[in-house]
Amino acid sequence: MIRAARLIEHAWALAATVGSAAGAWSERRALLLVLEDDGGHVGLGEAAPLPGFAADALAAARASLAALLGCGLPDAPSNDVAKTLGELSGALASPSARSALEGALLDVWARRRGLPAYALLTDVTPGARAPLSAWLPDGTGDALAAARAHLAHGGTGVKVKLDAARGLGAGLATLEALRRELGPGVALRADANRSATLATLVPFLDRLRALGLEWLEEPTAEPITADLGVPLALDESLQAPGTKPDLTARPFVAGLVLKPTALGGIARCLELAAHARAHGRAAVASHTLEGPVGFMTAVTLAFALGSERAHGLTAHRALRTARPPGLAGEADVLEAWAEPGLGLDLATALAGTEIVREERA
């Protein structure tokens, strides 16, 4: 029998501040859900809502997960693993708590069968690879250097953050330099984190169109209902629970960026991905600066989604010193791991953190 055994709140400092139009983060705090079975198998799941980005909070996640402690959970999923995950996590109010429970269940179920977690969702085999798009640092010089390194190590695309509060011009200049230096074959993405308005965006549309972007993520908080001549991607606006974007009425939306922590788990992400593909749109996985367990949950999603488009899952500062098993050596690609479950033990999951509190069943 599987039961929820422990809930560990932990915190850690980032080596340097990470920022975007959604906020700036110099530290992270998360909850680690630990599931155990009678055979000694352990499953780990992480709830790490990102302040300023997620419509969720750590206190809400803690309340949801603490209520599970001591509760029994199924020893195995039904034939439809995603459906089982969604049914088991659906009663939790916190999206990041749902993601933590689903990740922990996949981890322990896969360990009981001696399989990597992704093998419960897809027929991918160890060693298979999937492409990555790198989030570049601010500043044209630093962005160019990081882009060249990413591409030299197998990366296929890059993303620049735009911040209308600081002015869109600087980010656009970086994108233009990248296009000049890297050529037309490199996929460029931009992400404004809803910082612009249509009024502030319109003066820059000609320059955005000339870039040949793969897409521009969430440029405005207000819904865009007319084609601006730039492909768009949805991210933050997907957080409304139980809804699906109207892609028929918005043919200019090219893809969905899916983050399990923000959207309420892998099952919800797969539901949105199926919706996107039914309308001929792309779906990629990304992160919200989680630690290694949350990151590996997102990597599991990436392999379930496939390798048609580059995922936003390059190594980031919140991963601390660990390089999770889903990243291929020093290459900037995802690689399907052979270790059971998410490939992480409890010590690795908590390395470099301060334990804030622990609750046990």
What are the pLDDT digits (tens) for 32-46? 999 999 999 999 999
Distance, in Å, from the CA atom of 337 to the CA atom of 306, rounded to the nearest integer, reads 15
- Phi and psi of 34, rounded to 5°? -115, 120
| pLDDT above 80: residue 322 | no
Query: Which residue is it, tokens 């197998």?
Result: 154
Average pLDDT over residues 190-195: 96
Q: What is the pLDDT of residue 266?
A: 98
Q: 3-state SS of the chain? A: CEEEEEEEEEEEEEEEEEEECCEEEEEEEEEEEEEEECCCCEEEEEECCCCCCCCCCHHHHHHHHHCCCCCEECCCCCCCHHHHHHHHHCCCCCHHHHHHHHHHHHHHHHHHHCCEHHHHCCCCCCCCEECEEEECCCCHHHHHHHHHHHHHCCCCEEEEECCCCCCHHHHHHHHHHHHHHHCCCCEEEEECCCEECHHHHHHHHHHHHHCCCCEEECCECCCCCCCCCCCEEECHHHHCCCCCCCCCCCCCEEEEEECHHHHCCHHHHHHHHHHHHHCCCEEEEECCCCCHHHHHHHHHHHHHHCCCCCEECCCCHHHCCCCCCCECCCCCCEECCCCCECCCCHHHHHCCCEEEEEEEC
pLDDT band at 240 (very low <50, low <70, confident <90, very high): confident
pLDDT band at 63 (very low <50, low <70, confident <90, very high): very high
Q: What is the pLDDT of residue 90?
A: 96
Q: CA Rg, the chain, in Å?
A: 20
pLDDT band at 84 (very low <50, low <70, confident <90, very high): very high
Closest-CA residue to 110 (of 47, 35, 205): 35
Query: Which residue is it, tokens 């500043």?
Result: 139
| pLDDT above 80: residue 196 | yes
Q: Considering the chain, what percentage of its residues have pLDDT values greater than 90?
A: 94
Whether residue 260 contacts residue 266, with contact meaning beta carbons closer than 8 Å, is answered with yes
Sheet holding 157-161, edge to edge: 133-135, 157-161, 187-191, 215-217, 232-234, 253-258, 282-285
What are the pLDDT digits (tens) for 288-320? 999 999 999 999 999 999 999 999 999 999 998
Average pLDDT over residues 323-343: 93
Closest-CA residue to 312 (of 215, 238, 167, 221): 215
Average pLDDT over residues 249-263: 98
Considering 17-21, 37-41, 237-241, the range whose residues carry the highest mean pLDDT is 37-41
Q: Which tokens is 124 given? A: 């991918």
* Among 75-84, 94-103, 110-119, 325-334, the least confident range: 325-334
Q: Residue 203 region, left (φ>0) first, then alpha (ψ -120 to 50), else beta?
A: alpha
Whether residue 279 contacts residue 308, with contact meaning beta carbons closer than 8 Å, is answered with no
How far the first Cα of the chain sits from its last, in Å, is: 14
| pLDDT above 90: residue 329 | no
Q: Which tokens is 305 given? A: 């989604």
Q: What is the pLDDT of residue 54?
A: 86
Query: In this structure, how many other beta carbons lie within 10 angstroms of the beta carbon of residue 94?
Result: 26
Average pLDDT over residues 114-137: 97
Q: What is the pLDDT of residue 258?
A: 98
Q: What is the pLDDT of residue 331?
A: 85
Whether residue 116 contacts residue 110, with contact meaning beta carbons closer than 8 Å, is answered with yes
Domain 129-335 is found in CATH 3.20.20.120: yes
Would you kindly state where each structural domain of the chain is located, as residue ranges? 2-115+344-360, 129-335
| pLDDT above 80: residue 254 | yes
Query: In this structure, how many other beta carbons lie within 10 angstroms of the beta carbon of residue 27?
Result: 11
- Architecture per CATH, domain 2-115+344-360, reads as 2-Layer Sandwich (3.30)
Q: What does the mean pLDDT of the chain come to? A: 96
pLDDT band at 239 (very low <50, low <70, confident <90, very high): very high
Q: Which tokens is 63 given? A: 């309340």
Distance, in Å, from the CA atom of 262 to the CA atom of 41, rounded to the nearest integer, reads 27
Distance, in Å, from the CA atom of 123 to the CA atom of 114, rounded to the nearest integer, reads 15
Distance, in Å, from the CA atom of 271 to the CA atom of 5, rounded to the nearest integer, reads 29
What are the pLDDT digits (tens) for 265-288? 999 999 999 999 999 999 999 999
Whether residue 118 contacts residue 55, with contact meaning beta carbons closer than 8 Å, is answered with no
Whether residue 73 contacts residue 105, with contact meaning beta carbons closer than 8 Å, is answered with yes
| pLDDT above 80: residue 138 | yes
